[in-house]
Structure 1
Amino acid sequence: MTGATPPLPARLTPGDRVVVLSPSSWPEERRHLDDLLAALASWGLRPELSAHVEDRRGYMAGTVADRLTDLHEALRDPGVRALVASRGGCGAIRLVHGLDGDLLRRDPKPLVGYSDITALHQVWRRAGVPVVHGAVHGAHQDLVRRQLLEGATTTVHRDPGALTAGLTTTGTAAGVLVGGNLEMLARTVGVVDVSWEGCLLLVEANRAAGLGTVDRALSQLRLSGALDGLTGVVVGSFEEFAGYADRGWTVLDTLHDLLDDLGVPVLGGIGTGHLDDPVPVPLGVPAVLDADAGRLDVQPLVR
């Protein structure tokens, strides 16, 4: 981060405007947008679609210039109090150098999204503005409402049946919670200048390819020095790797091999990431990892 950390965004109130936009790919079905708008409206908010939310250019929601225009218009408008990504996909990293972080610092607004949106979350991290790693859908969507409108704290318990639950060690650790999708975190090394020293790192991944994806991404973060000074690691969903092996190794072997010798507490089995019902987790705010109790406690992202 650079400069003074801005205050937390103000909690949303009924009647506030929220912009739904597509910084990555476009929503494949209109009903997904309609469901998202209906959910936000049911919270008493006034959701709006950005001008280019349904644009299509290959696998991306329009040109870089148009997607940046949507982001900047939402950030400049004092009546807009939060931004919600319609989906992830691909293409958000193309926006990071064109995004005006001063707009965020002048008027902090949370961004809700995950997966490819992790690239933009690093810009929010650089500006010192919290985000929600999650989405307004599934069984936990009301938690997003409470996070944004009530300033709720977030507690996530380890799921003993989750693939990564066995990575859990012992001990406790505290720090600002950072991270997100593992591949996108690695892709932003050298692109967005942020520091995670003294932080808790959250990682999760979907299986677009084999174990090499996880190995290369974590190795890049280690070799770049990005993991130096972490206080702990929170491991979200790697469920898409269940049942997959490469020459005798599973994803747990890869994660153990690259995380164990960091010498910090690790809490696995946290249900955030690429799941049908992902738990939304605030990033950019203080949190406590308690590996012995199997829980993660995250402070509010709004004041």
Structure 2
Amino acid sequence: MKRRQFLTTTAITAVSFSLIPRKVVSNNFPLIKPPHLQPGDGVGIISPAGATFKEDDLNIVIEAVKALKLVPKVGQYALDRYGYLAGKDRERTSDINQFFADDNIALILPIRGGWGSARLLPYLDYDLIRRNPKIICGFSDITSLLLAIYAKTGLVTFHAPNGFSSWRTAQTESFRQVLFSGEKLTFRNVPDPDDANRLMRVKNRIQTITKGQAKGKLIGGNLTTLASIAGSPYLPDFTSAILFLEDIGEDVYEIDRLLNQLKLAGIFDNLAGFIFGQCSNCSADSDYGSLTLEEVIREYIQPLKIPACLGLMIGHLEIIETIAIGIEVEFDANRGTITMLESAVSKP
């Protein structure tokens, strides 16, 4: 996602990030797991970021929710518009807070990403959220909500489909297994059908940056969004974490800039493992030389000497797996797998 306006490369910015106290990104609340989903549970549909310009897009989301055997409830401001945003900040936040307070809601589902979720972080009622744990999911710009809620409450959140995702069979099955059944899954790249008659795998390949295995809490999301709140009190503690990142539509030099911002903010200092998923439509800019995405990632990550890989199918894809933020996992950089060591939801 193009967000050049959020980033600067001046020496002043570099110095300011280098002076950020490490404790600013850590609140260390006890882990809270939301109750698992059951047929008949209520779903609060929200628009925390970009505006939904077509009412039929909302109708499609409602149909998807009903097909999951859940009951949709549309937020009061879900179809509002304030320029490119889905309404004013406090109104969009109001829908989130009200759904967390609603005993009939078990899942909070954004319609789409875009931009704007980070503007809501100061207005969320984190005490209310901590007292009323529910599943909140999404990806892309929703990363800021997922990380802030986890950081400020300890609630497990989910890098998972937005409402207006494809909801194809594989995506829906992952969603059901993690959020309804509470299963502990292993995530790995599946073979592309185009490779069925080949002697070797050409597509959906893993590139190991540093060999090894690691255990730790899984934290991450969209790189641009995460970098935009670096240095704020809305990021969790990354100590001993397995960090996963993905992005879309950024030139390689911009990925370089974003990774450098995370480095200056100290986010790479004490990681247990590193995963870079997919960077959809990310290409080298000929005006800036010929560094590849792999070269840039290796330059930042290899010196850390932690298990790391590139190419897991996490990102802006047709099939979006449901990945829990905050739970313990085992990461194998050789095989490119993430294994959940605990259920992400609570069951009676």
TM range (shorter): over 0.9
Task: Give, as a single letter, the amino acid of the residue that structure 1 aligns with 2:178.
Answer: Q
The CA deviation string for residues 147-192 of structure 1, in whole angstroms up to 9 with x for no partner, is: 2111122322146656773244311011110010011111111221
Aligned residue pairs, count: 302
Partner in structure 1 of residue 63 of structure 2: 38
Alignment of 1:40-119 (within 5 A): 40-119=65-144
Structure 1, gaps ≥5 residues long: none
1:195 alignment partner, one of 237, 240, 245: 237
Which residue is 1:132 aligned to?
158
Instruction: Report whether the alignment pairs 1:175 with 2:237.
Output: no
Give the 5 Å matches for 1:267-278: 267-278=309-320
Q: Which residue of 1 aligns with 2:322?
A: 280
The 1:55–1:87 alpha-carbon spacing in structure 2 relative to 1, beyond 3 Å, is same
Instruction: Give the distance between the partners of 1:33 and 1:53, measured in 2 at CA.
Output: 9
TM-score, normalised via structure 2 length: 0.81
| 1:229 matched to 2:270 | yes
Query: Relative to structure 1, is the Cα distance of residues 125 and 134 closer, same or farther in structure 2, using a 3 angstrom cutoff?
Result: same
CA distance in 2, matches of 1:14, 1:164: 36
Equivalent-residue separation in structure 2 for 1:189 and 1:199 (angstroms):
16
Counterpart AA for 1:205: D
Q: Does 1:255 align with 2:297?
A: yes
1:110 and 1:131 in contact (8 A); partners too:
yes
Structure number with larger C-alpha Rg: 2
Q: Which residue of 2 aligns with 1:11?
A: 36
Q: TM-score, normalised by structure 1?
A: 0.93
Answer whether contact 1:289 1:295 (CA < 8 A) is retained: yes
Please say if residues 162 and 239 of structure 1, whose CA atoms lie closer than 8 Å, have aligned partners that are also in contact: no
Amino acid at match of 2:322: P
Distance in 1, matches of 2:77 and 2:321, equals 28
Aligned equivalents of 2:63 and 2:123: distance in 1?
A: 31
Q: Which moved more, 1:5-14 or 1:57-66?
A: 5-14
Cα distance, 1:6 vs. partner? Answer: 4.6
**1:14 CA displacement:** 1.4
Task: Tell me what 2:18 maps to.
Answer: none
Worse-superposed segment, 195-204 or 124-133: 124-133
138, 142, 148: which is aligned to 2:173? 142
Which amino acid counterpart does residue 301 of structure 1 have in structure 2? Answer: A
